[in-house]
């Protein structure tokens, strides 16, 4: 009886280890081929973007989650004198803002009120 019991227990114990290992990170494989474990969400805190640079694939979306107590923007471009045409969240201090990147390239963005404090980010989009 004992060997039978052990062969039943082992597969379940092994599955438990796999499940525990999978719970540790919430990285999703939606950014295939890129080096980081970026999960598609950039945290907007006082006064920085985390991560400040991230890599995705064309067709992927990025969600910015506003977690700071101050209001911030997610504005495409290199700075307030050179805003881009693609996206601008407007001032927010809660909720999320999303944008889907359809073409390859390096896209810089910044926070309008905190650009001078270095609140800037970059999304690098790999082509198909």
Nearer CB in complex with Cu ion: 55/119: 119
User: For residue 79, is it left (φ>0), alpha (ψ between -120 and 50) or beta?
Assistant: left
Nearer CB in complex with Cu ion: 62/111: 111
- Give the footprint of Cu ion on this chain (CB under 5 A): 47, 72, 111, 114, 119
Q: Which residues contact 41 (CB under 8 A, 6 or more apart)?
A: 62, 63, 64, 65
Taking the complex as a whole, how short is the minimal distance between the CB of residue 91 and Cu ion, in angstroms?
A: 9
Nearer CB in complex with Cu ion: 111/125: 111
Taking the complex as a whole, how short is the minimal distance between the CB of residue 105 and Cu ion, in angstroms?
A: 24
* Token pair of 22 as six digits: 């999978």
């Amino acid at each position: 009886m004992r060997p039978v019991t052990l062969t039943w227990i082992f597969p379940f114990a092994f599955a438990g280890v796999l499940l525990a290992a999978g719970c540790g990170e919430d990285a999703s494989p939606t950014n295939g081929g890129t080096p980081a474990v970026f999960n598609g969400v950039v945290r907007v805190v006082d006064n920085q973007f985390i991560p400040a640079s991230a890599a995705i694939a064309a067709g992927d979306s990025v969600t910015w989650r506003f977690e700071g107590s101050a209001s911030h923007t997610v504005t495409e471009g290199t700075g307030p004198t050179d805003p881009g045409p693609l996206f601008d969240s407007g001032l927010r201090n809660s909720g999320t803002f999303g944008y889907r990147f359809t073409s390859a390239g390096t896209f810089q963005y910044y926070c309008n009120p905190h650009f001078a404090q270095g609140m800037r980010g970059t999304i690098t989009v790999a082509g198909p």
